[in-house]
Amino acid sequence: MDLSKITEIFTESVIREMTRIAHQYPGCINLAQGFPDFPAPEPIKDAAIKAIKEDINQYSITWGSESLRNAIADKVARYNKMDFVEADKNITVTCGSTEAMISSMKAIINPKDEVIIFEPFYENYGPDCLLSGAIPRYIKLYSPEWTFDFDELEVSFNEKTKAIILNTPNNPTGKVFTEKELKFIVDLCLNYDCIAMTDEIYEHILYDDHKHISIASFPEMENNSITINSISKSYSLTGWRVGWAIASERITAEIKKVHDFLTVGAPAPLQEAAAFALSLGDEYYTRLRDFYQKARDKLYNALKNTDLQPIKPGGAYYMMTNCEEYMKNYELKNSMDLAIHLVKRLGIVTVPGSSFYANPEDGQFQTRFCFCKKDETLQAASQKLVKIRS
């Protein structure tokens, strides 16, 4: 019996596979999948418990509870300068940004439409394209600054281009797209009437003087953008599965339909707690930023004296490393060999660079560390890294 020809051509997530590998090596430190190992904020947990006790336990309105959609509209007007967003017209609450992305793609793509993706990319975007019938076209981000070539991007746009996927701040590179880069993308989107799908889940995790800009804040992008976000990273709640997509009323009407038939709705009591989370003041985000700035610097300092050469991220909580020298010394053939070697030799789990590229060869000398971890976890990792100082 034939099963789906589409699912046949992609594998399960390598990132999540590395967490399963971590479980096979007791005592190892999992710096692979991006989830915090510290407690989620107490007041948000209390808000969820209160909602459950108040019996907000049945389906919410399928496209999201009123309180959460109001909180999202307030927050994006305040932080992202997205003034057009109305709770009833422009928001679909989903099961995480993962569902927001696939629902949005299903809502806009026709078979053989092209979607531009910056590479290296968060690995979900490949299967998202395949599942929605789109043909992905990749544009390289060049290390160490992770800049792209404006001409290369321009020639990749054509009449078949339906969307471009942006992720800023970016996983895995930590790149934060600049205003100049975004403006260039805005002009291309408008010239070719295509949609910028922007995954902004790391919007509050920024270092040094980097600033987050939402492409939907350019007034001319109201009808040509889908902004995707969730509570996973900003509030350390990756297991709650609450996210959203923001778009024009016309696009939102289609996303709502896909979402309704895919999942019906996100968890109702957790939506109430998410509404509370979104009402937190600036102080919360300043603390989050300071915490991650220290974590980034700690991991960077531990890696910089090794042959796993770190590239400093401007945002998000990952660090890509170039490991060519190290791999030569140990005769390691590819990034999966390297990741397995690091688990066995050091007891540190990372994500092989190849999983972020369409052609695995392009990432064969890279591995990604994540640092959304307690200080003591990063301290223990630093001590292990001392063993491989060059």
Ligand X SMILES: Cc1ncc(COP(=O)(O)O)c(C=O)c1O
Nearer to ligand X, 161 or 232 (CB): 232
Nearer to ligand X, 263 or 279 (CB): 263
CB of 389 to ligand X, least distance (A): 30
With CA atoms as reference, report the closest residue to 276 among 49, 43, 90.
Answer: 43
| Site track for ligand X across 167-206, x = CB under 6 A | x---x---------------------------x-x-----
The stretch near ligand X (CB under 6 A) out of 40-48, 80-88, 92-100, 377-385 is 92-100
Beta carbon nearer to ligand X, 51 or 101: 101
Residue number of the CB atom closest to ligand X: 96
Least Å distance, CB 167 to ligand X, is: 5
Of these, 98, 224, 350, 355, which contacts ligand X (CB under 6 A)? Answer: 98
The nearer residue to ligand X, 85 or 95, going by C-beta atoms, is: 95
**Does residue 94 belong to the site contacting ligand X (CB under 6 A)?**
no
Check residue 252 for interaction with ligand X (CB under 6 A): no
- Minimum Å gap between C-beta 307 and ligand X is 26
172 exposed, middle or buried (CB, 10 Å; 0-12, 13-18, 19+)?
buried
Report the distance separating Cα 97 and Cα 102, nearest Å.
Answer: 9
- Sequence letter at residue 198: T
β 309-311/243-246 pair status: unpaired
Torsion, Cα 174 179 181 182, to 10 degrees, reads 100
For the segment 120-139, give every residue that binds ligand X (CB under 6 A).
122
CA triplet 239, 241, 243: central angle to 5 degrees? Answer: 140
Question: Residues near 196 by Cβ (< 8 Å), separated by ≥ 6?
Answer: 163, 164, 166, 185, 186, 189, 215, 216, 221, 224, 225, 226
Stretch that binds ligand X, among 79-87, 96-104, 183-191, 206-214 (CB under 6 A): 96-104
Q: Would you put residue 21 in left (φ > 0), alpha (ψ -120 to 50) or beta?
A: alpha
Residue 234 near ligand X by CB under 6 A: no
Q: Does 232 bind ligand X (CB under 6 A)?
A: yes
Query: Is residue 96 a contact point for ligand X (CB under 6 A)?
Result: yes
Residue among 192, 124, 197 at smallest CA distance from 167: 197
Question: In whole angstroms, how close is the CB of 386 to ligand X at the nearest point?
Answer: 28
Question: Any contact of residue 224 with ligand X (CB under 6 A)?
Answer: no
Task: Compute the distance between CA of residue 232 and CA of residue 270 in angstroms, rounded to an integer.
Answer: 12
Closest CA to 136 of 113, 120, 158: 113
Segment 53 to 82, residues that bind ligand X, using CB under 6 A:
none
Strand order in 351-352's β-sheet? 309-311, 318-322, 366-370, 351-352
What residues make contact with ligand X under the rule CB under 6 A?
Answer: 34, 96-98, 122, 167, 171, 199, 201, 230, 232, 238, 243
